[in-house]
A = this chain, B = another copy of it.
Amino acid sequence: MATIKDVANQAGVSVATVSRVLNGNGYVHEDTRSKVEQSIRELNYTPNEVARSLYKRKSKLIGLLLPDIMNPYFPQLARGVEDEMQENDYRLIFGNSDESKKKEMEYIQTFVQNNVVGVISSTNDPDADMYTGLNIPVVFLDRTSSDRPSVYADGRQGGRIAAEEIVRRGSKAVTVIQGPADVRPAQERFEGAVEVLEQQAAAYQVLKTTSFSLTDAEEFAQKVFSEYPDTDGIIASNDIMASAVVKEAFRLGKRVPEDVQIIGFDDILLSRLLAPPLSTIHQPAYEMGREAARLLIGLIEGQRIEKSNIEFSVEFIERQTTRKVES
C-alpha cells in the first residue's frame, strides 16, 4: 500500500507539502497541487486517519497522579480533569501510585521524561523532593498545601457536619472509622468529627483502619460490630467503607437507620444506587478536577492567577441510612 512518502517521492515534493494538500491548509502552488493530486490518484493512495492526524498540531501533555483508581472517587476527579484538558487541547498521562512512594516517584519520572508541561497530583506528600525539584507547574488535587497551588474540599468541615448530623439524629454511641494515618484528607475529616463529638460530650469510640481498599473494607466492617456491638451510629471514612458497614449491619439483622445510622464520605455516584441509598458528605469531585485543570492551564499559560489555593465546601446529603428529624 502506498504511503504519504511514496506520494511525496513520485510528485517530487516534501511530505509536508503532500500533507498540506491533503488537509487543505497552508499555501501550495497550483501546479504543485496538481502534481500531488495526480500522484495520489496514480498510486491509489488513501491517507489513513492516523497518518493524517499526525500533521495536526501536537497536543501538550499533562501528568495526572492518583492514589487509587479502584476507588470510584478518583475516576470522578480524573474525569473532571480530563474534560477540562480535552476542551483546551491538552492530553493526560495518567499514573496510579497505589499509595506507594516508589510508584509515585516512577510516574513523576515518566511524566518528566515525556515532557509533560504540568502535573496534577493527589499525593500525600506535596513537600517531597520529587515535587519541589520540578521546574514545571504542579497543582495538588484533593490535597491541602498552604504555600503551593492546590484544590481541595474542606474535609475538616465534612467531619464536623457528619458528627453533628449523626448526634442530632439520635445516635448515642457513635463509632468513628479513622482512615489510613498517612492519607491527609482522611485525617482531616476524622479530626473534624472528633472535635464535634468532644465539644458535645458525646459518647464515641474510634476504629482505626490501615487501608481504603475495597477488599479490606468488609473486614473492617465486621470489626466495627464485633468490637462495638452496641454502636448505633457510624461515621465511615469513605463511601466504600460505609457500603461495607451497611451490608454487615444487614447480615447481622440490624435495621438501618432504625438500629444503626451510617454516614459515608465522598458521595461517589454509586452511593445513591445502594439500597438503602447512602447518607453521606458530598465532595464535588468532578468540579474539583475541572478546577485543578483550569488552575494548571492558567499557570502553564502564564496567566495572572488570583487565587492558587481553592477550597470547595462540602455538604450533607440526606438519604436513607440516617433517621428523619424535624429541621
What's the number of copies of this chain in the assembled complex?
Answer: 2
Q: Are A79 and B86 in contact (CB under 8 A)?
A: no
Q: Which of A196-204, A213-221, A227-235, A304-312 contacts B (4 or more CB under 8 A)?
A: A213-221
Q: Are A243 and B269 in contact (CB under 8 A)?
A: no
Q: Let me know if A157 is at the binding interface, CB within 8 A.
A: no
Q: Are B50 and A277 in contact (CB under 8 A)?
A: no
Please pick, from B56, B58, B113, B247, the residue contacting A275 in the complex, using a CB distance under 8 A.
B247
Q: Let me know if A325 is at the binding interface, CB within 8 A.
A: no
**A112 CA / B110 CA spacing, docked (Å):** 16
Q: How far is the CB of A49 from chain B (nearest CB, A)?
A: 5
Q: Let me know if A114 is at the binding interface, CB within 8 A.
A: yes
Taking A54-B113, A91-B110 as given, write out 12 further A-B residue pairs in contact, using a Cβ cutoff of 8 Å, ordered by the A residue number. A48-B133, A53-B105, A54-B109, A59-B113, A69-B75, A78-B96, A214-B273, A217-B273, A218-B272, A240-B270, A247-B273, A274-B274
Q: Are A58 and B113 in contact (CB under 8 A)?
A: yes
Counting chain B CB atoms within 10 Å of each CB, the highest count among A132, A244, A272 belongs to: A272
Q: How far is the CB of A224 from chain B (nearest CB, A)?
A: 14
**A110 CA / B50 CA spacing, docked (Å):** 10
